[in-house]
Homo-oligomer: A and B are copies of this chain.
């Protein structure tokens, strides 16, 4: 029988960097005995992203952040929107270059993630923040 369910995760960040939360999504699925359906994640912010990326070598996350820091420079004189700090407009752009939306099939109680895929929150601001992710399930 079809049903749906909503949940909100609140994730604390320690400033710029990637925070894996695959486990928290899987826990919500297990607690509710969801079997087959579609899981949607939406991040309710404009200066952080949702990301599916490699969960093995931490150097991948280090290189990701190094690349983005070079591509979108804090304090770039191009930017007019600077009232909230040198890292604010770069944080919006980093969000635009990635995404705040993910949709994952769930089959036999397991998310359709590949072996090396983890679900991350990517904080783009340099200071710690509290970030809210809305979870939605529709299925059986």
Provide the residues of chain B in CB contact with A98, threshold 8 Å: 96-97
Q: Is the CB of A53 within 8 A of B95?
A: yes
**Oligomeric state, in copies:** 3
> Given contacts A81-B60, A132-B114, are A38 and B138 in contact (CB under 8 A)?
yes
> Given contacts A40-B103, A72-B67, are A112 and B134 in contact (CB under 8 A)?
yes
A interface, over-half SS: mixed
Provide the residues of chain B in CB contact with A71, threshold 8 Å: 71
Bound-complex Cα distance A31 to B67 (A): 44
Bound-complex Cα distance A34 to B46 (A): 26
Interface presence of A140 (CB below 8 A): yes
Instruction: Encode contact with B along A9-50: 1 for CB under 8 Å, 0 otherwise.
Output: 000000000000000000000000000111010111110000
Shortest Cβ gap from A79 to chain B (Å): 5
Instruction: Encode contact with B along A99-117: 1 for CB under 8 Å, 0 otherwise.
Output: 1111111010000111111
Q: Is the CB of B105 within 8 A of A40?
A: yes
Q: Please name 19 further chain A to chain B contacts, defined as beta carbons within 8 Å, in addition to the given A46-B116, A59-B81, A62-B80, sorted by A numbering.
A: A4-B139, A6-B36, A38-B38, A38-B40, A38-B136, A45-B116, A45-B117, A46-B53, A46-B114, A53-B95, A63-B78, A64-B92, A67-B76, A96-B98, A101-B102, A103-B103, A105-B134, A138-B138, A138-B139
